[in-house]
Amino acid sequence: MQKWRDIFLNGIVKENPILILMIGLCPVLACSSTATDAFGMGVAATFVLLCSNILVSLLRKLIPTEIRIPIFIVIIATFVTITDYTMQAYFPQLSENLGVFVPLIVVNCVILGRAEAFAYRNTLLASILDGLGMGVGFTLAIVLLGIIREILGAGTVFNVKIGISNPATLLILPPGAFIGIGVLIAVWNALRKSKGSVSSPCASCGLRQMCHSSKEGECEALGQIK
Amino acid sequence: MKIIKLGLILLIVTVLSATSLSLVYLQTADRILEVKKEKVYKLQKEILPLAESFEDIDEGTVKVGYDGDKNEVGRIISVSPKGYAGNIEMLVGIDNEDRITMIKIVKQSETPGLGSQVSKSDFLGQFKNKNLAGVFLRRESTDGEIDAITGATISSRAVAKGAQQAIQKNIKAKKSAEPDSEADEKD
Amino acid sequence: MDLIQLFSVFFAALLINNIILMRFLGLCAFFGVSEKMGSSIGMSLAVAFVMTLATAATWPLYHYVLEPLNLTFLRTISFILVIASLVQLVELFMKKNIPGLYRALGIYLPLITTNCAIFGLSLLNINYNYGFLESIFHALGVASGFGLSIILFTGLRMRLNLAPIPKFIAGYPLVFFTAALMSLAFMGFSGMFGIH
């Protein structure tokens, strides 16, 4: 029981993809100007992550090692397209707001990273829990950022007015995204009293192997320059 | 040999994925089209509430609205006046007496928080039922009845200008259509 | 297609809709390799190269294959596969035939296989209904915008390394605040030349 709980909580706290690993930031910054958009993005990414984890884990014995990355990409792209079309059909407004970032889930390092680092090596149940944990961790971080930005920048939360008469519009504009995530990470670091939790941006990137990295968590490009 | 086997596996995966995607596409395509059509219709209906059906003329830049008995009740003109940051794309609804029914901003990139307020109903509501003389800024024309947004005169002026263009365009289009109809009557 | 329109596409992509600071694409590379000037210049050149190539490959793919055959639902999957294999091919070709260039840029190529800026650009070209030439100019503008912002950013980061910083904002939070100020500065470009 303890083991399953640890796998699930790993993605939310210890290895939160956004706040700790800082990967897959693009949609977090771009889709967090309102809490509603942030939640939509979080659910969409979680769905793709969960489905790809399940399929990769089920097929892990059948996928040849040499071509696993292309196969992962095809699997992820399939689920992303399914999400994209479903969203266009049933949530047209959300689909319009998120725009190009829905198909862009395909290049989100979190998803490829989990397929490569976890689902390909673990059982179905563990992969489901890992996908859920990572997805929830991603969603929590993006929604938190969305709520902060929407309250301070537009004076609403989930489109409900909360009586801030003079909101700081800057927060819902592009610079606000950078400020918001910076503050969030600073607070998170202070709370965790972490000793240099900053990890390499490609620490859990699924393409590590393709980078021919010599050291764990360090891409060849980064390594050579240093 | 190995390469052929790997290639074959990749091919099978891709074909399976493409097949499942085509199924999803067939399931959702009709609905997506319907949703888009409905959205356009809803917007047009909001601009010209009396109209039941719409017809595109002039390559879609003008939409004629008809009521249930196929009588023309007004037109929707698309114009894109130059704002502070790029063009403001807007739809202007005009009734048969050349008065504005409603304006909707389709796309704008004005300064957020200042110029972008032109798409709010507080500002756009001022245009309702105004004729050509009325859709000027109050401070720029004696008959003008539009109050500019504080700190966003250029954006406000651009929208007013768009409204003027739309009305003028409509009057001109009607005039050029009239001689023909008169000629028809003489015959 | 007149030249002025092409240049307005270029400058809009370079300054007004800057791919990093306004559109949030390619952030991993932006934060990952902006510690040394040499690496950020190398990265920008590699990105420019791949962006132009990817646009030249995906635009015809969409307009001459997917659209006529009514297969637009394969857009995401075909684009990502084409871009990934393109980068691999270029890497192999460079390694064999232009070793000098490979030493300078090659190490960045695998890093940008799944860079969202490349894939995002290919999608934007389709969404904006750009023609082929416009798409190429758009790609060049986006790539220059990437280069401009990452090089400026590296300069700022190198200075900040020398400054005394409170412990809890040292590292990533500070990097984000710097990016925020740059993004704020780039917002000043909106409305320039009346393009958007």
Q: Which residues on chain C are in Cβ contact (under 8 Å) with A174? A: 21-22, 24, 183, 187
Instruction: Name which residue leads in pLDDT, A205 or A53.
Output: A53
Least confident of A144-148, B3-7, C103-107: C103-107
Chains that touch A (3 or more CB pairs under 8 A): B, C
* CB-based contact, B28 to chain A, within 8 Å: yes
Does the distance separating the beta carbons of C80 and A73 come in below 8 Å?
yes
Rounded Cα distance, A58 and C123, in Å: 31
pLDDT band at A193 (very low <50, low <70, confident <90, very high): low
Instruction: Name which residue leads in pLDDT, C27 or C177.
Output: C177
pLDDT of amino acid A91: 92
Considering only alpha carbons, which residue of chain A is nearest residue C26?
Answer: A26
pLDDT band at C1 (very low <50, low <70, confident <90, very high): low
pLDDT of amino acid A201: 45
Q: What is the mean pLDDT of residues A144-163?
A: 90
Whether residue C27 is predicted with pLDDT greater than 60 in this model: the reply is yes
The amino acid sitting at A187 is: V
Rounded Cα distance, C189 and B157, in Å: 21
Mutate to test the interface with C, among B6, B25, B105 (most CBs of C within 10 A): B25
**pTM (two decimals):** 0.84
Does the distance separating the beta carbons of B24 and C77 come in below 8 Å?
no
Question: CB-hemisphere CA count at 13 Å for B109?
Answer: 16
pLDDT band at A225 (very low <50, low <70, confident <90, very high): very low
Residue C179 to chain A, least CA–CA distance (Å):
6
Does the distance separating the beta carbons of B13 and A88 come in below 8 Å?
no
Instruction: Write the pLDDT tens digit of every residue in C116-129.
Output: 889 999 999 999 88
Mutate to test the interface with C, among B10, B21, B82 (most CBs of C within 10 A): B21
Query: Which is it for the CA torsion C170, C176, C179, C181, positive or negative?
Result: negative
pLDDT of amino acid C35: 81
Residue B168 to chain C, least CA–CA distance (Å):
25
The 3-state secondary structure of chain A, one letter per residue:
CHHHHHHHHHHHHHCCCCCCCCCCHHHHHHCCCCHHHHHHHHHHHHHHHHHHHHHHHHCCCCCCHHHHHHHHHHHHHHHHHHHHHHHHHHCHHHHHHHHHHCHHHHHCHHHHHHHHHCHHHCCHHHHHHHHHHHHHHHHHHHHHHHHHHHHHHHCEECCEECCCCCCCHHHHCHHHHHHHHHHHHHHHHHHHCCCCCCCCCCCCCCCCHHHCCCECCECHHHHHHC
Report the DSSP beta bridge partners of residue A218.
A215
Instruction: Write the pLDDT tens digit of every residue in A109-123.
Output: 889 889 988 999 999
Scanning A152-211 for CB atoms below 8 A from C yields: 170, 173-179, 181-183, 185-186, 189-190, 196, 198, 200-202, 205-207, 210-211
Whether residue B187 is predicted with pLDDT greater than 60 in this model: the reply is no
Helical H segments across B48-152, by residue range: 121-124
Nearest to A70 by CA among B16, C87, C81: C81
Rounded Cα distance, C45 and C31, in Å: 16
pLDDT of amino acid A176: 94
pLDDT band at C154 (very low <50, low <70, confident <90, very high): very high
H/E element, C75: helix C75-97
pLDDT of amino acid B156: 92
Does the distance separating the beta carbons of A25 and C24 come in below 8 Å?
yes
Q: Which two tokens stand for residue B116?
A: 């972008």
The amino acid sitting at A122 is: N
Q: Which two tokens stand for residue C165?
A: 């910083």
Instruction: Name which residue leads in pLDDT, A199 or A74.
Output: A74
Reduced to 3 states (helix: H, G, I; strand: E, B; else coil), residue B91 is strand
Instruction: Write the pLDDT tens digit of every residue in B25-59.
Output: 998 999 999 998 888 888 888 888 888 888 888 77
Strands B100-107 and B72-79: unpaired
pLDDT band at A214 (very low <50, low <70, confident <90, very high): very low
Residue C187 to chain B, least CA–CA distance (Å):
9
Whether residue C155 is predicted with pLDDT greater than 90 in this model: the reply is yes
Does the distance separating the beta carbons of C74 and B21 come in below 8 Å?
yes
Instruction: Write the pLDDT tens digit of every residue in B63-86.
Output: 888 888 888 888 899 998 988 877
Quickly list DSSP for C9-72: HHHIIIIIT-TTTTT--SHHHHHHS-SSHHHHHHHHHHHHHHHHHHHHHHHHIIIIIITTTT-G
pLDDT band at A198 (very low <50, low <70, confident <90, very high): very low
The amino acid sitting at C171 is: G
pLDDT of amino acid A220: 43
Whether residue A49 is predicted with pLDDT greater than 70 in this model: the reply is yes
pLDDT band at A224 (very low <50, low <70, confident <90, very high): very low
For residue B102, report the phi and psi dihedrals to the nearest 5 degrees: -165, 150
Other CB atoms within a 10 A radius of the CB of residue A6 amount to: 12
Whether residue A208 is predicted with pLDDT greater than 50 in this model: the reply is no
Nearest to A201 by CA among A14, A45, A10, A20: A20
Residue found under tokens 């090692």:
A65
Rounded Cα distance, B54 and B37, in Å: 12
Does the distance separating the beta carbons of C196 and B109 come in below 8 Å?
yes
* CB-based contact, B26 to chain C, within 8 Å: no
Question: Mean pLDDT across chain C, nearest whole number?
Answer: 87
Rounded Cα distance, C77 and C70, in Å: 15
Chains that touch C (3 or more CB pairs under 8 A): A, B
Least confident of B18-22, B106-110, C141-145: B106-110
Report the DSSP beta bridge partners of residue B72.
B66
For residue A91, report the phi and psi dihedrals to the nearest 5 degrees: -130, 65
Q: Which two tokens stand for residue B41?
A: 């219709």
Does the distance separating the beta carbons of B24 and C196 come in below 8 Å?
no
Q: What is the mean pLDDT of residues A19-33?
A: 86
Q: Are C113 and C83 in contact (CB under 8 A)?
A: yes
pLDDT of amino acid B180: 54
List strands edge to edge, sheet with B89-95.
B53-57, B62-66, B72-79, B89-95, B100-107
Q: What is the mean pLDDT of residues A99-114?
A: 89
Nearest to A136 by CA among A3, A9, A34, A32: A9
Rounded Cα distance, A105 and A83, in Å: 10
Whether residue A203 is predicted with pLDDT greater than 70 in this model: the reply is no
Q: Which two tokens stand for residue A114?
A: 């989990």
Does the distance separating the beta carbons of B35 and A81 come in below 8 Å?
no
pLDDT of amino acid A205: 47
Does the distance separating the beta carbons of C116 and A104 come in below 8 Å?
yes
Q: Which two tokens stand for residue C114?
A: 């799944």
pLDDT of amino acid B69: 83
Q: What is the mean pLDDT of residues A207-217?
A: 44
Instruction: Name which residue leads in pLDDT, A191 or C113.
Output: A191
Q: Which residues on chain C are in Cβ contact (under 8 Å) with B85? A: 190-191, 194, 196
Q: Are B32 and A89 in contact (CB under 8 A)?
A: yes
Residue A160 to chain B, least CA–CA distance (Å):
17
Whether residue C38 is predicted with pLDDT greater than 70 in this model: the reply is yes
Nearest to B13 by CA among A115, A121, A55: A55
Whether residue C90 is predicted with pLDDT greater than 60 in this model: the reply is yes
* Cα distances (Å, whole numbers) of residue A190 to A187, A196, B16, C194: 5, 11, 48, 45
Residue C144, judged by CB atoms within 10 A of its CB (0-12, 13-18, 19+), counts as buried
Helical H segments across chain B, by residue range: 2-47, 121-124, 153-186
Mutate to test the interface with C, among B19, B109, B116 (most CBs of C within 10 A): B109
Whether residue A199 is predicted with pLDDT greater than 50 in this model: the reply is no
For chain B, percent of residues with pLDDT exceeding 90:
22
pLDDT of amino acid A16: 85
In chain A, where the domains are located: 2-225
Mutate to test the interface with B, among A78, A79, A84 (most CBs of B within 10 A): A78
Instruction: Write the pLDDT tens digit of every residue in B139-181.
Output: 888 888 889 888 888 899 999 999 999 999 888 887 777 655 4
Considering only alpha carbons, which residue of chain C is nearest residue B19?
Answer: C74
Q: Which two tokens stand for residue C8?
A: 């307005």
pLDDT band at A60 (very low <50, low <70, confident <90, very high): very high
Cβ within 8 Å of residue B141, ≥6 positions away: B133
Nearest to C196 by CA among B89, A177, B61, B60: B89
Scanning A170-189 for CB atoms below 8 A from B yields: 172-173
Does the distance separating the beta carbons of B13 and A74 come in below 8 Å?
yes
Of B24, B82, B111, Cβ closest to residue C194 = B82
Whether residue C62 is predicted with pLDDT greater than 70 in this model: the reply is yes
Whether residue B17 is predicted with pLDDT greater than 50 in this model: the reply is yes
Residue found under tokens 């003389």:
B133
Q: What is the mean pLDDT of residues C121-150?
A: 94
Most confident of A24-38, A187-201, C136-150: C136-150
Most confident of A14-18, A60-64, A218-222: A60-64
pLDDT band at C113 (very low <50, low <70, confident <90, very high): low
H/E element, B93: strand B89-95
Q: Which residues on chain A are in Cβ contact (under 8 Å) with C179? A: 178
Q: Which residues on chain B are in Cβ contact (under 8 Å) with A71? A: 9-10, 13
Question: Mean pLDDT across chain A, nearest whole number?
Answer: 83
Rounded Cα distance, C112 and C19, in Å: 15
